[in-house]
Structures are given as C-alpha cells and as structure tokens.
Amino acid sequence: MAVLSIASEQLELDQRAEFLGACQQLLDSRMPWLVIDMRGLRRIFSIFVGTVMDVNSRARGEGRRLTVIAREDVGKLFRAVVGPEVLEICQPDSALNGGSRRRSSRRSRRPDQDR
C-alpha cells in the first residue's frame, strides 16, 4: 500500500502543482493499493476533486485501486460531484482498520479485502 497524506485543513489553488506531483509519486509507487488520506481536510476546491478522479482513473486502468480517506462532509462532496460508485471513500474512523467504507448506501466489502 502507498499512502499520500494531506496534512493541512485545506488545499489552496497555489498548491495544485505540489499536489499533482505528490499524486504522480503515488502512482509511480506501482503499489496495487493507493490511499489518499484527506482526513484533516475541511475544504477542497473542485480542481482537486478532478485530480483525485484522474488518479483513480489511471490506477483503475492499471488494475490498481484507490481509496480516499475523508471526513463525511468532504466525502459527500466527492459523491455529489462524481457519483457514489466511482470512488472508494472511507471515513477516518473506519478507514483501513476493518470498518466499513461508504461507496453507496448498499453494503460493501471492507477496504482491506481484495476484490
């Protein structure tokens, strides 16, 4: 597993290049499971949502998976913008420790289970 952790409460537009570079490093890891840990984010611009979706698309295209760890409000934004079935989103209290993830209202497997 390769993890990209966002330490700040918000990503500003002038941080886009740095975020793109960090996402590229995540993809370059060649790990089968990629995680973007956004649990500290309280605000995110849509351009970053698009960047995460690009990482998700590229990872899926290579047979890998991406999990985003995000607070409920940030997770709701992702689900509203891209739909509930497109991106694997976990809340911090259940992420990667055997709790359930929220991809949709349907019951789903834990993020630590292989597909």
Backbone dihedral angles phi then psi of residue 34, each to the nearest 5 degrees = -110, 140
CATH architecture of 2-90: 2-Layer Sandwich (3.30)
Domain ranges of the chain: 2-90
pTM listed for this prediction: 0.79
62-99: pLDDT as tens digits:
999 999 999 999 999 888 888 778 899 998 886 555 44
Mean pLDDT of the chain: 83
What tens digit of pLDDT does each residue of 29-56 get?
A: 999 999 999 999 998 898 999 999 999 9
Structure tokens at 68: 């985003």
CA–CA dist 62, 65 (Å, integer): 9
Could you tell me what percentage of the chain is helix, strand and coil, using 3-state DSSP and rounding each to the nearest 5? 35, 20, 45
Residue 81: the pLDDT is 87
